[in-house]
Amino acid sequence: MKNVSNFYNKKGWKSKNNITLDSNLFEDNRVVAKNYVKKCRLKIMNYIPKKGKNFLDFASGPIQYKEYLKYSNNFKYRHCVDF
């Protein structure tokens, strides 16, 4: 757990060209995959309630993609938790 904390506190959230280091390490950021990955992120909305009062975003990170914001569009509050 300490290694993860050190990684994100020291460099994981640092970005270059609006892409964080953790994204470059753990996600497919190739241009050829861009549309596919975006559609995959939006597909998650099939499993999220359509509306509500509270939306808990556990392991929210920097919310670096517009698709992530759509998850909570119809909720009054979005609670972001990240260790």
* Cα 50 to the center of its chain, rounded Å: 19
Between residues 47 and 10, the one the model is more confident about? 47
Q: What is the pTM of this model?
A: 0.71
In this prediction, residue 18 has a pLDDT band, given cuts at 50, 70 and 90, of confident
Half-sphere exposure for 49 (CA within 13 Å, toward CB) = 9
Q: What are the residue boundaries of the structural domains of the chain, listed by start?
A: 2-81
pLDDT at 34 over 80: yes
Q: Helix H segments across 1-83?
A: 2-7, 21-26, 34-43, 66-70
Residue % of the chain over a pLDDT of 70: 100
| Cα 68 to Cα 56: distance, rounded to the nearest angstrom | 12
Give me 35's structure tokens: 């549309």
